[in-house]
Structures are given as structure tokens and as C-alpha cells.
Amino acid sequence: MTARHLGQGGFALVLVLLALTLLTAIASMALAASVGQLRAASMAGRVLSERTAARAAVDAVLNTTRGLPASQVGDSAVELVRRPFARSGWQRVLDLRLTTEMHAFLGEAVLIGGVPVSHARLVWWMDPEARIAAHAGAVESGTIAIGPGARALTDSATSGRTGIPSCHDLTRLSNVLAGRPLQVASGLPSPPEWGAGGDGSDFARVRLGWFGRRLLSRLADHSAAAGGPLPSARCPGCWSGLVYSHGDNEVIRQGAGVLVVDGDLTFAPGSSWTGLILVAGDVTVHDTARIQGLVRAGGSVTLEPGSEVDGSACSAFRALQAASSLARPIPLPGRSRLAPVAPASR
């Protein structure tokens, strides 16, 4: 073989080696890209799993938590629940109290070796003391008519009554009433205390904070059709919880609790109700009938001669406190889901 042929053969071998090297490099790059994609997909899957678990934890707490909140405004978040997640992780829900009745529920979930992923939801959690402190008058209504001989009393709003302990130990309520004594009568407050505003038709007729008509009806301890019987109090200080009437009704005996009427309410002679009364329409209190507590009515309130309203904020508070079906957090209607919260912000 001539030198020319040897040179050509060596050059071809170099080209083959270069081609093999290039193919190897391409294969290595493809393998690295595949591994990177697998890792990215795995990480994305982990994050998605964690985010789903954080959201599910918040939803579960909303569905199962009962009672009044333990968290305080300005304090650290309170851990409501913590439990294992998957085989090697955990999930928990924190309650951060923003205002008296507004909370942020912060769900966290993490797989071992990962970074916690958060999901937050804005929640309303009723505070009975704040609810009652918002009442400016023993009777709040569109109009009020007090007949001759009818009595409306507000001089002992936080004092106890038969079977009902006093509320002097309730700092917020006592401070509010000290600075703004309970009036006999007052106009209706603005949304979200009363009326729909921009909150939707469910709040148009009757509401209790962010409990609208449908939710109040669903949570009622006693539900009455229009004109149907209302529960009687078995003893002083015995409460019937939340009582909801689907239409006009009449109190004919002695009752106690939180009474919500989606219509007009009439008190028969000799009847009474102790607690908190919320009425979509008009209220008429006949001779010798008596209300002990607070009344809020969307229409008119008429106190006929011989009737009485004993403006007892304490009775209204105790009734609301005893309505255990209302002691639960609910998502703020509308857009309640918040952006993820970084761990450092807590």
C-alpha cells in the first residue's frame, strides 16, 4: 500500500472516531435532558401533590371544625390540625386571626426532603360577643311605634336575669356599651350587619353576619313552616338553639334562643321570647307580651299598650352563645381563596 493510501485510510479513521464521539455526546445530552425532564416532572408532581393536599386539608377543617376560635388578633397562628401525608410527609392547617371575626386558614403540605407548599383561605368565624356589641338599640328596625303604657327598658343591658348570668366579665361588650349605651330604638345598620348590599340576594331579607338565609335555614336546630309551632323554653336559661321560621309566624308561648323569621312576627298576649330575634318583615308585640333580649327587624316594630321589651344584651349573647350550630368557620362568600403564602411571611 502506498503512502497516499495510508494517509487516506488514517484520515477516514479519524472521521469515524469523530463521528462516534459526536454521536456519544449527542446521546449523553439526550440522556441528560431526559433525566432532567424526569426530575422536573417528578418535582412538578410532588408540588402538585403537596398543593392538592394543602387545599384538601383546609377544606376538611372547614367541614369538621366546630366551636369558637382559640386564636387571638395579633397573636401567632394556632395549629388546628396536623397529620401524616402520604408515606413520608405531613400536612397541617393554621388559623391566623386577622380581625375579631376574620381569619386566614393556612394549609401546608410537604413530602420529606421537599419545601412546604401553602394554600390559604379567608374565613369568617362568628364571635357572639362581637355580634351583640354591634347592636346599637334594643330594637333596630325600619320604624318603631311604642303605644301608651308599653315599656322599653335598656338600663341593665349587661346584668343577669333569672337563669341567665351577667355579662359584666365580657370586656368588649362592656366597653362598647360603656362608651355607647344601648338605645331603646335605632335604625338598621348597613351591610354586612344587615341588608344585602353587594353580597347577593341570600342576604337581602335576613342575615346574621355572613350567615345568609339559606345557611341559617340549613343550620337551624328547629325549623318551622309559616305559622308552624315554635319551641317552648323548658326553664329559665334553657335555650332552643337556632330557630328558623320559613314565613310569617306567631309566638304564643314562652320561648328562648336565636329566633330567625323570614317574614312577619307577632307576639300573642301573654307570650314571651328571650334571646336574639331577627325578622325580615314586621314585628307586632300585643298587650302583656314580652321580649327579653334584642330585636332586629327589616320592617316596622309595634309595641302595643301593655307590652314590654327588656333590652338585655346579656340575654341575646347567651342565646347566641348557646346556638352551637352557628359555632363554625365558613368560607367568606365570593372569592375566599388566597394566593400561596410563603413560610417566611408567618
* Percent with pLDDT over 70 in the chain: 83
List the beta bridge partners of residue 32. none
Q: Is 176 helix (H, G, I), strand (E, B) or coil?
A: helix
Dihedral angle computed from the Cα positions of residues 302, 308, 312 and 316, in that order, rounded to the nearest 10 degrees: -60
Query: pLDDT tens, 178-232?
Result: 888 999 999 999 999 999 988 999 999 999 999 999 999 999 999 999 999 999 9
Q: Look at residue 88 in the predicted model and tell me its pLDDT.
A: 78
Residue matched to cell numbers 369568617: 124
Alpha-carbon gap, residue 105 to 77, rounded angstroms? 9
Tell how far CA 237 is from the center of its chain.
27
Q: List, in order, residues 6 or more apart from 324 with CB less than 8 Å away.
A: 66, 67, 241
Alpha-carbon gap, residue 159 to 301, rounded angstroms? 25
Alpha-carbon gap, residue 259 to 79, rounded angstroms? 34
Closest by CA position to 290, among listed 97, 150, 128, 145: 150
Alpha-carbon gap, residue 201 to 181, rounded angstroms? 33
Residue 82 identity: R
Alpha-carbon gap, residue 77 to 72, rounded angstroms? 8
Query: pLDDT tens, 88-141?
Result: 788 899 999 999 999 999 999 888 767 778 889 999 999 999 999 999 999 999
Q: List, in order, residues 6 or more apart from 160 with CB less than 8 Å away.
A: 166, 167, 314
Alpha-carbon gap, residue 175 to 181, rounded angstroms? 10
Of the two residues 188 and 27, the one the predictor is more confident about is: 188
Q: Look at residue 346 in the predicted model and tell me its pLDDT.
A: 44
Closest by CA position to 124, among listed 148, 94, 104: 104
Query: pLDDT tens, 52-62?
Result: 888 999 999 99
Provide mean pLDDT across the span 290-317. Answer: 98
